[in-house]
């Protein structure tokens, strides 16, 4: 709904990249097999580069399992990688290979970023890891996620366009003047 | 939109090419009526596809989800089969939009349903409604909150 707010707000259970005191917090609910999320991936990378320490970026899982059969397992894989301290490396490489997300390929991706693959394969089965993906999804439902990707800016659901530089420009306009001048 | 607290108007529509569904036959369950403009919207932001992922959340609240548009039962059958929907899509096709009009959910200018949501309780009473702008998928948070309110109020 139009007044939707990120629920719960970002906490210790979340994966957040960037300055923890950033003036802008951008949170994505994404699906690793969703082509739109794939398209958003380099756009977000660019936003992170452009905004630097003014931004922190969080990612929560919102796999549309019935539309994208590998989405849930891919989300579990990124959470399993987090147990070896490599969430963002896995998040990135999955999006860079989103057309081949069968289990065999996922394990190869894990190996390529230097994960211990024996441990990784075991961690894929952990109830806590699977539960993390499910609770992300539920929080998305609560927060009013209505498409993938959905973005929240400082807790508020962003309903505008995100393609090209539209989201970047929107975020720049949220910055205090003194910061905007420095970018 | 109809006001809350009144009995939901009864109706019967095709839910498959050869069977019909009557609202009053669902007494005892909560019912979510989701009027939407048309079958075959792009998938990643599509309201029916999103709700299809929420089966566990709705079932937990003893709620039956029903999609309604003015598309024909044949279009619904194909759309539903392609997306693997777990819930029925009702064809408000002939006379066109009759049920949508009954629920103030018909857009005369386009001849399609508006994006209207109703939550009806097990006694057939409208407990919550919401009209979303036509281009905006309303998500499911409002529905879930309404269902939880019904559940809480029904506790002894």
Q: What is the pLDDT of residues A28-55, one digit of tens each?
A: 999 999 999 999 999 999 999 999 999 9
Query: CATH number for the domain including B144?
Result: 3.40.30.10
Residue of B nearest to A135 (CA): B57
Judged against a pLDDT cut of 80, whether residue A10 lies above it is answered with yes
Give percent helix, percent strand, percent coil of chain B, each to the nearest 5.
Answer: 30, 30, 40
CA atoms of A111 and A126, how far apart (whole Å)? 19
When CB atoms are compared, the residue of B44, B84, B142 closest to A36 is B44
Check: CB of residue A90 under 8 Å from CB of residue A56: no
Domain total in chain B: 1
Q: What is the pLDDT of residues B13-45, one digit of tens each?
A: 999 999 999 999 999 999 999 999 999 977 667
User: B139 and A65 in contact by Cβ < 8 A?
Assistant: no
* Residue A146 at interface with chain B, using a CB cutoff of 8 Å: yes
Average pLDDT over residues B85-97: 98
Token look-up 């309404």 returns B146
Q: What is the pLDDT of residues A115-159, one digit of tens each?
A: 999 999 999 999 999 999 999 999 999 999 999 999 999 999 999
Q: Write out the residue range of the structural domain in which residue B58 sits.
A: 12-153
Q: Kindly state whether residue B1 falls inside one of the protein's structural domains.
A: no
Backbone angles phi, psi at B143, to 5 degrees: -60, -45
What is the pLDDT confidence band of residue B82, given thresholds at 50, 70 and 90? very high
When CB atoms are compared, the residue of A34, A137, A145 closest to B139 is A145
Judged against a pLDDT cut of 90, whether residue A168 lies above it is answered with yes
When CB atoms are compared, the residue of A64, A142, A143 closest to B53 is A64
Q: Give SS3 for A104.
A: helix
Listed in sequence order, the DSSP H helices in B16-140 are 47-52, 55-60, 73-83, 98-102
Q: Which residues pair with B120 in a beta bridge?
A: B31, B126
Judged against a pLDDT cut of 60, whether residue A2 lies above it is answered with no
Domains of chain A: 24-168 (3.40.30.10)
**pLDDT for residue A146:** 93
* Residue A163 at interface with chain B, using a CB cutoff of 8 Å: no
Pairing state between β A55-61 and A24-30: parallel
Q: Kindly state whether residue B3 falls inside one of the protein's structural domains.
A: no
**pLDDT for residue B44:** 61
**pLDDT for residue A167:** 98
Judged against a pLDDT cut of 60, whether residue A1 lies above it is answered with no
What is the pLDDT confidence band of residue A183, given thresholds at 50, 70 and 90? low
Smallest CA–CA distance, residue A75 to chain B, in Å, is 16
User: B53 and A148 in contact by Cβ < 8 A?
Assistant: no
Q: Kindly state whether residue B2 falls inside one of the protein's structural domains.
A: no
Residues of B assigned a catalytic role: 44
Q: Tell me which chain B residues have a C-beta less than 8 angstroms from the C-beta of A35.
A: 44
Mean pLDDT of chain A: 95
Q: What is the pLDDT of residues B94-121, one digit of tens each?
A: 999 999 999 999 999 999 999 999 999 9
* Residue B54 at interface with chain A, using a CB cutoff of 8 Å: yes
**pLDDT for residue A182:** 63
**By C-alpha distance, which of A15, A20, A26, A6 is closest to A171?**
A26
User: B50 and A4 in contact by Cβ < 8 A?
Assistant: no
């Amino acid at each position: 709904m139009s007044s939707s707010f990120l629920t719960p707000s970002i906490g210790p259970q979340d994966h957040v990249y960037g300055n923890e005191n950033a003036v802008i917090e951008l949170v994505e609910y994404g699906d690793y097999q969703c082509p739109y999320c794939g398209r958003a991936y380099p756009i977000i990378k660019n936003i992170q580069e452009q905004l630097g320490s003014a931004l922190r970026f969080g990612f929560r899982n919102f796999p549309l399992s019935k539309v994208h059969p590998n989405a849930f397992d891919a989300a579990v894989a990124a959470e399993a990688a987090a147990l070896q301290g490599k969430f963002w490396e896995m998040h990135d490489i999955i999006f860079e290979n989103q057309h081949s997300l069968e289990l065999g390929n996922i394990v190869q991706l894990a190996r390529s970023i230097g994960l211990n693959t024996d441990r990784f394969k075991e961690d894929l089965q952990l109830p806590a890891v699977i539960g993390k993906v499910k609770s992300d999804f539920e929080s998305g439902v609560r927060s009013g996620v209505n498409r993938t990707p959905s973005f929240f800016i400082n807790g508020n659901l962003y309903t505008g366009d995100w393609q090209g530089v539209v989201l970047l420009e929107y975020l720049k306009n949220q910055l205090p003047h003194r910061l905007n001048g420095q970018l | 939109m109809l006001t809350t607290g009144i009995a939901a108007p009864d109706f019967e529509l095709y839910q498959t090419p050869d069977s019909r569904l009557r609202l009053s036959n669902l007494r005892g369950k909560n019912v979510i009526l989701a009027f939407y403009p048309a079958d075959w919207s792009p998938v990643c932001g599509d309201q029916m596809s999103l709700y299809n992922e929420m089966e566990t959340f709705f079932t937990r609240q003893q709620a039956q989800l029903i999609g309604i548009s003015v598309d024909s039962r044949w279009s619904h059958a194909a759309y539903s089969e392609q997306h693997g929907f777990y819930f029925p899509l009702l064809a408000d096709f002939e006379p066109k939009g009759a049920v949508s009009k009954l629920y103030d959910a018909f857009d005369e200018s386009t001849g399609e349903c508006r994006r209207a949501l109703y939550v009806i309780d097990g006694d057939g009473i409208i407990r919550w409604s919401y009209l979303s702008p036509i281009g905006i998928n309303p998500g499911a948070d409002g529905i879930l909150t309404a269902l939880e309110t019904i559940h809480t109020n029904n506790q002894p």
